[in-house]
Chains A and B, each alone.
Chain A
Amino acid sequence: MKGFINLIFSVDFVYSIFRVMTPLLFASMGAVISDIAGVPNIALEGLMLMAAFAGMYFSYLTQSAAVGLLMALLIAITFAGVLAFFTLYYKTNIILGGIALNSLASGGTVFFLYLVANDKGTSVSLASKTLPNIHIPIIENIPILGDILSGHNILTYVSVLAVIFTYYLLKSTDLGYHIRAVGEKKEAAESVGISTIKTQAIALLLSGVMCGFGGAFMSMGYVSWFSRDMLSSRGWIALAAEAMGRQTAIGTAAASLLFGVADAVSNAAAAQGLPSDLVKTIPYLATLIGLAIFSVRIYKKQKEV
């Protein structure tokens, strides 16, 4: 137990929070943008899974991590576009569309994994590339802080930028205004000539970009291979974070941090030799508890009115 506490307060542990938080941040920002626009994208999990596979496979094919990242983005954006096309143009229910994409991703990636790696579990037999870690000059030399803030995968830094991007997009740009207007009152936006379909499509594509980054990080940063269902529900936890963060970029990032800590704790506890099947439930328990507390608070508030 003492060893465990020491580990929690170690530099490595805090460093690992950033690492596990990265995909959550990307996905939850995708959730924020799409939900604010009135088209809640629940296919985050599937989109990230596809992106993770594409990143691994194309970086193996071309032996270039950059091409892998580009293809991961491209695949995620393409399928987000497919979702937009069916839900906005052909009026499919967005939730059903999201479920379909998730199932497609789960089965499809295993199918292609078997095709290219002759393995239904992981892609370790393929020598795919990873994205570089960045050492920030000056900061890296500061004791403790340098060890925590420097040396992360490039996408971890991008994920922080993604939060800032989402914040300013919604708060201060005309596109952000349009996204909010369309999500809150479609008719109002249309009455002044803003196209609902166009705005919602852009929002879904942006959530696709976020998922592209998140997926690429999983197979080219977090680990250096692809394995089946490797997102292990991070796309769903991101939706929970978005709900707890009340659809604001900052609140959602804070909720993601909370889940990141839970995830890191579970990893640390597993490393201490605690039964891994048990400690792996920590992030999900945290999600459940977080959502319960959150909805009780909302319920109380509504009751008072």
Chain B
Amino acid sequence: MSDYILEMNHIAKIYGNGVVANSDVNFNLKKGEIHALVGENGAGKSTLMKILFGMEQPSRGEIILRGKKTVFSGSKEAIASGIGMVHQHFMLVESFTVAQNIVLGMEPKKGLFVNSEEAVRFTKEMGEKYNLPVEPEEITKNLPVGLKQKVEILKALARGAEILILDEPTAVLTPQETDQLFEELNQLKKQGHTIVFISHKIPEIKQICDRITVMRSGRTIETYLCEDVTEQQISNAIMGCELNTSIERKVKKYGEVNVHVENLSYTDKSGVQILKDISFNVRKGMIFGIAGVQGNGQVELIDILSRKRAVQSGNVTFFNQDISGLNQKTVRELSFGYVPEDRLEQGVASSVAISENMISNDLENNDFQKYGMLDFRKIDEFVNENIKGYEIRCAGGAQPVGMLSGGNMQKVVVARECEHNPDILIAEQPTRGVDVGAAHIIHKKIVQLCEQGSSVLLVSADLAEILKLSDVLAVMYEGEIVAFFESTEGLNEEKLGLYMLGIEKHTLEQMRKAVN
């Protein structure tokens, strides 16, 4: 018997349409380790995990689980063999209670009916056993993301999972939730569970993982001990070349005020004040960063600026023009671009082709028209240029966007919003769930826009990103701007964290500088 709990040897997966997702992948797990699986979007991580979880059948290769050669014909068998998966998009029935979700498919029965008390008791017991306390009778819909994830993990554990696959678990979490997750994962590790951790965030991987396997274009490149490699080495292995992710900012010259927000307040339907007296200016050629833990009013602020919500009180102007009377279409006519946080819901029409998605905000542009009809030759030219420029991995402009991986989908959104050179760009979590290479391309584009004289409002929970790109930086906490920095020099994530958690606060005078 080898010392591996799982070995996947020479796995290959070729889809019916000839796409090679995996070619010769070797992956193994030791019992009780946290093992990172990294690679660019589309490198084949998801496919490999789908094979492990029985959702796909390998075209070649063998899976050896606990020393025995195994074939899974469906995820049911994988679950029965002690493999659990926590998907990036949660597999929870939102209208069910937590307990109902936990026991789904294996409901305890009393006669003909489901035994609800037993389900609640079982959920509590599982929560205690694995140190993942949850409220069994809470409706899942009402839970914050971090708790939903806990329910997902518990769901897998309740089915006897010894090997847990976590697909980008931290992409949706706040820094605090992430810390808590790591604590929980370490607990599970101590109890003898083996965890596969898929992530793009290399610092996190260094923090929590024991070993790390790098994949690139459908192959496993190498497996390292985490302590033996530096972040830069991991990054290089992922990209297959030395990638310098630092960005040079050539021009830094501020012009007139493009975005002016003054005393903006917002109260939601249930009477809770979400935004309190927000004021700031974004000048031409400036990247204005807004940091903050998610749910501190950023979404509402952006919704108001992008005309999804009404301006209740206060004043918002773009180019000295009041925007309260504009709608989403007319505000775009002012030369406005918006990269939304939720690309699947708001960013793209997933069943529609890449090309159509890429021009959907600019159909009235005369460049794309000829005799009042769309000029597809020109459109194709534009789309192909962007596919090349943004390195979008796809089968061509006609492919539906929904078939792309998350990072490539995001590049389509960024290309659409940036390639028309908007004078104002709002970028909301522009690189969430995006690999290092793609994030670099997106960052470069944002900086380039700014150098050409656009005003960029960058909202992100990714502090590294905020610190890297922003010229000036504000921190939001409970609907207020609690800190304003005229430059990011000397700032680090720890310092910012104090403001983000409301522990420290700038003086009013300092914050007034945001209206510069």
Contacts and interface: CB of A to CB of B under 8 A. Distances in A.
Interface in B217-276: 269
A177 B114 contact: yes
B106 A185 contact: no
Contact of B104 (A172, A187, A188): A188
Interface stretch (A46-54, A79-87, A191-199, A272-280): A191-199
Contact of A181 (B90, B93, B106, B116): B93
B94 A185 contact: yes
Contact of A188 (B75, B76, B93, B269): B93
The B interface is mostly helix, strand or loop, or mixed, namely loop
Nearest to B74: A193
A184 B94 contact: yes
Given A172-B114, A174-B114, A177-B100, A192 B106 contact: yes
B471 interface: no
Nearest to A193: B76
A192 B159 contact: yes
B109 A174 contact: yes
Contact of A184 (B75, B95, B159): B95
Contacts of B432: none
Q: Which of A177, A180, A184, A188 has the most CB of B within 10 A?
A: A188
A193 B159 CA distance: 11
A304 B271 CA distance: 13
B319 interface: no
A305 interface: yes
Interface in B75-112: 75-76, 79, 85, 87, 89-96, 100-101, 104-107, 109, 112
B200 interface: no
Contacts of A194: 104-105
B266 to A, nearest CB: 14
B309 to A, nearest CB: 11
B155 A192 contact: yes
A178 interface: yes
B91 A178 contact: no
A177 B95 contact: no
A304 B269 CA distance: 7
A168 interface: yes
A177 B102 CA distance: 12
Interface string B50-94: 000000000000000000000000111001000001010111111
Nearest to B100: A177
Interface string B275-302: 0000000000000000000000000000
A189 interface: yes
Interface string A147-162: 0000000000000000
A173 B113 contact: yes
Interface residues on A, range: 20 to 34
Contact of B91 (A174, A177, A191): A191
Nearest to B113: A172
Interface in B143-168: 155, 159
Contacts of A189: 93, 104-105
Contacts of A305: 269
B154 to A, nearest CB: 13
Contacts of A192: 79, 91, 104-106, 155, 159
B93 A185 contact: yes
A191 B93 contact: no
A88 B85 CA distance: 26
B91 A185 contact: yes
Nearest to A181: B93
Contacts of A172: 113-114, 116
A12 interface: no
B136 to A, nearest CB: 15
B269 to A, nearest CB: 6
Given A188-B91, A192-B79, A181 B104 contact: yes
B87 A191 contact: yes
A181 B155 CA distance: 15
A67 to B, nearest CB: 29
Contacts of A193: 74-76, 79, 105
Nearest to A182: B93
Contacts of B112: 173
Nearest to B102: A192
A304 B87 CA distance: 33
A305 B113 CA distance: 36
Interface of A: 168, 172-174, 177-178, 180-181, 184-185, 187-194, 304-305
List 3 tightest A-B contacts by C-beta distance, closest first. A193-B76, A192-B105, A188-B91
24 contacts: A172-B116, A173-B112, A173-B114, A174-B107, A174-B109, A181-B93, A181-B104, A184-B94, A184-B95, A185-B92, A185-B94, A187-B87, A188-B101, A188-B104, A189-B93, A189-B104, A189-B105, A190-B75, A191-B87, A192-B91, A192-B159, A193-B75, A193-B76, A193-B79
Given A180-B96, A194-B105, 12 more contacts: A174-B107, A177-B96, A180-B95, A185-B94, A188-B92, A189-B93, A191-B87, A192-B91, A192-B106, A192-B159, A193-B75, A193-B79
